[in-house]
Amino acid sequence: MVVEPDADKVQHIIDALIEGGWQNVRALGSIEMLQKVINDFAPDIVLIDMANPDRDTLEHVIMVSDTQARAVALFVDQTDAGLTQAALTAGVSAYVVDGLHMHRIKPVLDTAIARFQMMRQMRSELDAAKQALTDRKTIDRAKGIVMRQRGVSEDEAYTLLRQAAMGQGRKIIDVAHALVTSADLLG
C-alpha cells in the first residue's frame, strides 16, 4: 500500500516497488481513506510519504496503519526529535527523514520488514513469558489451596494437581485455574 498525494510520484514508487519484487501494489492519494483501504486490502506493508508531518497526522497514520499487524515505512521531508520518537514508539518499522528517493525504496522496505518481523517475534516472546508467569502464579495459588485443605507439602500438592489434570485429560493450568476460581467463589 502506497500513500502519496502526487500522482506522478506514485507511478515512480510503484515502478520501483515492482522492480524490487513486490507485486499487487495499491496506491492511495489521500490519508483520509487509509483505514478503509487497509481494512479492504489488508496490505503486508504500508509506505507513506509525508512532506511535513505534524504530531496529530502522525498519530492518525500510525493508529490506522496498525503497526502491530503490518510493517509501516514512513518517509518524511523534515522532522524533529518529538516526531521521530513518537513514530518509533508507536512501532513504525522505518522512519526515513529527507524524503523518499526511488533508489532507497527496496533497501528501506527490506529493513522495515525485517525490523517488523523482529519486533513481532519479541512481542510474541514477551507475551509468552507474561502468560507463563501468570500461569505459574495461578498454579502456585492452587498448590497453596491444596496444601491448606489437605495438609500436604508443596510437592505433594503439585502431584495431586498433576494427577487431577491427567485424570480429566486437561492441562494442569486449567485445573489450577478452576480450583482458584472455585476457592475465590467460596472464600
Task: Give tens-digit pLDDT for 97-127.
Answer: 987 888 889 999 999 999 999 999 999 999 9
> Could you tell me the three cell numbers for 141?
495459588
pTM: 0.73
pLDDT band at 141 (very low <50, low <70, confident <90, very high): very high
Q: Is 184 within 8 Å of 142 (Cβ atoms)? A: no
Beta bridge partners of 125: none
Which one has a higher pLDDT value, 130 or 65?
Answer: 130
pLDDT given for residue 87 in this prediction = 84
pLDDT band at 34 (very low <50, low <70, confident <90, very high): confident
CATH for 2-100 (3.40.50.2300, 3.60.15.10, 3.40.50.1240, 3.30.460.80): 3.40.50.2300
Q: Is 4 within 8 Å of 27 (Cβ atoms)? A: yes
Note the CATH number of domain 126-186: 1.10.10.10
